[in-house]
Amino acid sequence: MSLFLNLASQGLINGAVYALIAIGLAMVFGLLRILHIAHAGLFALGGYLGLVVTNATGSFALGLAVSMAVVAACGVLMYRLCYEPILEQPPYVPLIASVGMFLAIEELLRLVFGDHGLSYHVPPLAGAIDLGGMRIKYAEIAVVVMACVLLGGLALFATRTRIGMAWRATVSEPRMAASCGVSLRQVRHLNFAIGSAFAAAAGVMVGVLNNLVEPSMGAVPSYKALAIIVLGGLGNMGGTLVAALLLGLVEAFGATYLSNYLDRDSIAFAAMLCVLLVRPEGLFSGTKGSTGLLARKLQLKGAAKWVLTKRPS
Amino acid sequence: MGAYETSILTLVAINVILALSLNLISGLCGQVSLGHAAFFGVGAYATALLAKAGANLWLTLPAALLLAGVCGLVVGFCSLRVRDDFLAIATMAAGFLFLGVVRTSDALGGELGISQIPESGLEGFYPYFVVLCAVAAGVFCTWVKKSWLGYAFEAVSADETAARSLGIDTPRFKLAAFALGTGLAGVAGCLYAYYLGTVGVEAFGFPVSVMILAMVVIGGMGSIWGSVLAAALLTLAPEWFRFINDYKLLVFGLLLFVMMRFVPGGLFPLVLRQARRLRGEAAR
């Protein structure tokens, strides 16, 4: 039983990290239909920035804030310099450009900070609590809390503010939104800024969890994030969230029970292929009727309803 | 030619075969695949196992072709259900699955891979044999492109729904493209295994798949000469950049980005267009 609880909690913690990474990817995909591989580069950059600033100033909160702000700016810059001019091209063109940027960021981090990665001088959020026979680190709790706060904040922002409304309108019907006076460009900037900031937060937290940041830390989580956004139905926020948590759980249990046949990383992709073969449009991208049903059944309103169904109340 | 030149020549020829094979699937038939390195790997691992069991080149080459082609058919069945972005991600997943299986399987050498693969038995002729194979692959692709099959592929790539309504059996042609392309990739894998004498997981990862796709895209989707030139260019580029040593991959990543940013249609079509313009001006 305690093994089960342990695995479940580990799965949820990993799921929270995946959710933070995948939400950014899903936002970019939902808006622009680009597979944004360079997101992984931003994730690694965020991890490094957080660590460097924390080590230099001694304040973890400052490190986190600086990392999120700088990476958000980098995300916007990336959109302006790279994606905007090639939006009209077939989807593999931005994809390859994105991979090129990812390689470049990874190499840049390697050249500046060295091959072996860096660690915190004083690991922030050290220590752990006992919870019913399980040791849960403070850092792990912080990851889950941060994911809840950030994603909940995003949901509130999207449903309760005028900017959020414009953003949602642009995702569902860009031309109509533009003709109602929404600036597509500003919405896209906002989209990249929020997504990148979340990736940076995830990067910082992964750095804290492992007490290590390395140049290649972005690769595997970001490929998994791609799997997650497919499972969640491409561009569907709520589906992405559920898929991220599910994947965390499946991995935690799979890594224990299936380790003789598949390594941890390919479990995600095996699960994804199975889902694609049964439901080619992803787990949660049902038709209007079925998502409406989900919302009705759960008696959801406002932000929660939007998160799960992506449809305003 | 010195040892260095022949070694580079072999590598270029292998990559040309790889680029041509993906060009059949992604370029001609329009099915973007991000897991092509897996089939390359299937061919290489099949060759490594068979060669260690005592088979010679004339047995391992068809075996690698068939095995990779069969795996390609299986993945092709996936492609019948999913399209566009989903297909790209599904093939990427297939690639990662291949890596995962190889990593955990002791029979395939796990993380260490398989080393000490016996020689091909062609001695000094081997590099030329690889080049011959590349030429054969090029001729085959040209033939496919000019044949009725190629026209059907292009129809599927241009507009699948329209092709279907014209009575083209699109699922069958997609499967054919996958089987042909992945079979060719298997051949490349076989040649690679003999060339290096050892196969390891990291040679067949996601970055390699992207590299092959980059060759096809930079060469211009569907263009055979473009694929050949781009494969040679992208294989030689890291060698040219050797003098900047540490910055090699950085420059390479930026090169990919800059190519896509400024010549998204591919290098070869651009060159062709310029050449045609020059000729046009000369005629006037």
DSSP string, A144-204: HHHHHHHHHHHHHHHHHSHHHHHHHHHHH-HHHHHHTT--HHHHHHHHHHHHHHHHHHHHH
Q: Is A226 on the interface with B (CB under 8 A)?
A: yes
Per the DSSP assignment, residues forming a β-bridge with A213 are A118
For B103, name the nearest residue in chain A, comparing CA atoms only: A263
Residue type, B16: V
Kindly indicate the confidence band of residue A219, based on its pLDDT and cuts at 50, 70 and 90.
confident
Q: Is the Cβ–Cβ distance between B266 and B217 less than 8 Å?
A: yes
Q: Span A116-142, mean pLDDT?
A: 80
| Token output for B23 | 């060009």
Nearest Cα neighbor of A83 from A72, A96, A70 is A96
Kindly indicate the confidence band of residue A313, based on its pLDDT and cuts at 50, 70 and 90.
very low
Q: Span B200-212, mean pLDDT?
A: 84
Tens-digit pLDDT profile for residues A3-20:
888 888 888 888 999 998
Kindly indicate the confidence band of residue B75, based on its pLDDT and cuts at 50, 70 and 90.
confident
For B101, name the nearest residue in chain A, comparing CA atoms only: A262
Q: Span B131-142, mean pLDDT?
A: 93
Q: How far apart are CA A207 and CA A98, in angstroms?
A: 23
Query: Would you list the DSSP string of chain A?
Result: -HHHHHHHHHHHHHHHHHHHHHHHHHHHHHHH----TTHHHHHHHHHHHHHHHHHHHS-HHHHHHHHHHHHHHHHHHHIIIIIGGGTTS-THHHHHHHHHHHHHHHHHHHHHH-TT-B--SS-TT--EEEETTEEEEHHHHHHHHHHHHHHHHHHHHHHHSHHHHHHHHHHH-HHHHHHTT--HHHHHHHHHHHHHHHHHHHHHHHHHHHT-B-GGGGHHHHHHHHHHHHHT-TT-HHHHHHHHHHHHHHHHHHHHHSTTTS-HHHHHHHHHHHHHHH-TT-SS---HHHHHHHHHHHT--HHHHHHHH----
Q: How close A291 comes to chain B (CA, Å)? A: 21
Q: How far apart are CA B217 and CA B182, in angstroms?
A: 18
Q: Do residue B96 and residue A280 have CB atoms under 8 angstroms apart?
A: no
Q: Is B121 on the interface with A (CB under 8 A)?
A: no
In this complex, which of B81, B96, B252 lies closest to A280 when CB atoms are compared? B81
Q: What is the pLDDT of residue A312?
A: 42
The structural domains of chain A, with segments of one domain joined by +, span 2-309
Q: What is the pLDDT of residue A311?
A: 46
Q: Is the Cβ–Cβ distance between A229 and A235 less than 8 Å?
A: yes
Instruction: Determine which of A292-301, B44-53, B231-240, B244-253 has the lowest per-residue pLDDT on average.
Output: A292-301
Q: Do residue A272 and residue B93 have CB atoms under 8 angstroms apart?
A: yes
Kindly indicate the confidence band of residue A288, based on its pLDDT and cuts at 50, 70 and 90.
very low
Name the more confident of B263 and B11: B11
Kindly indicate the confidence band of residue A309, based on its pLDDT and cuts at 50, 70 and 90.
low
Q: Do residue B100 and residue A266 have CB atoms under 8 angstroms apart?
A: yes
Kindly indicate the confidence band of residue A284, based on its pLDDT and cuts at 50, 70 and 90.
low
Q: What is the pLDDT of residue A290?
A: 46
Q: Is the Cβ–Cβ distance between A197 and A69 less than 8 Å?
A: yes
Q: How far apart are CA A280 and CA B89, in angstroms?
A: 11
Q: Span B231-252, mean pLDDT?
A: 77
Task: Tell me: pLDDT of A137 over 80.
Answer: yes
| Token output for B121 | 């038995």
Q: CB count, 10 Å around CB of B3?
A: 8
B97, B100, B106, B107: CA torsion to nearest 10: 20
Task: Tell me: pLDDT of A180 over 70.
Answer: yes
For B251, name the nearest residue in chain A, comparing CA atoms only: A104
Q: Is B210 on the interface with A (CB under 8 A)?
A: yes
Q: What is the pTM of this model?
A: 0.81
When mean pLDDT is compared over A122-136, A146-160, B73-87, the highest value belongs to A146-160
Chain A hits for B82, CB-CB cut-off 8 Å, are: 276, 280
Q: What is the mean pLDDT of chain B?
A: 85
Q: Is A272 on the interface with B (CB under 8 A)?
A: yes
Q: Mark residue A302 as left, alpha or beta (left: phi above 0; alpha: psi -120 to 50; beta: remaining).
A: left
- Classified by CATH at the fold level, domain A2-309 comes out as ABC transporter involved in vitamin B12 uptake, BtuC (1.10.3470)
For B110, name the nearest residue in chain A, comparing CA atoms only: A263
Nearest Cα neighbor of A64 from A76, A53, A77 is A53
Q: Span B215-242, mean pLDDT?
A: 84
Task: Tell me: pLDDT of B185 over 90.
Answer: yes
Per the DSSP assignment, residues forming a β-bridge with A129 are A136
Chain B hits for A95, CB-CB cut-off 8 Å, are: 88
Nearest Cα neighbor of A236 from A157, A154, A172 is A172
Q: Is A104 on the interface with B (CB under 8 A)?
A: yes
Q: How far apart are CA B74 and CA B42, in angstroms?
A: 13
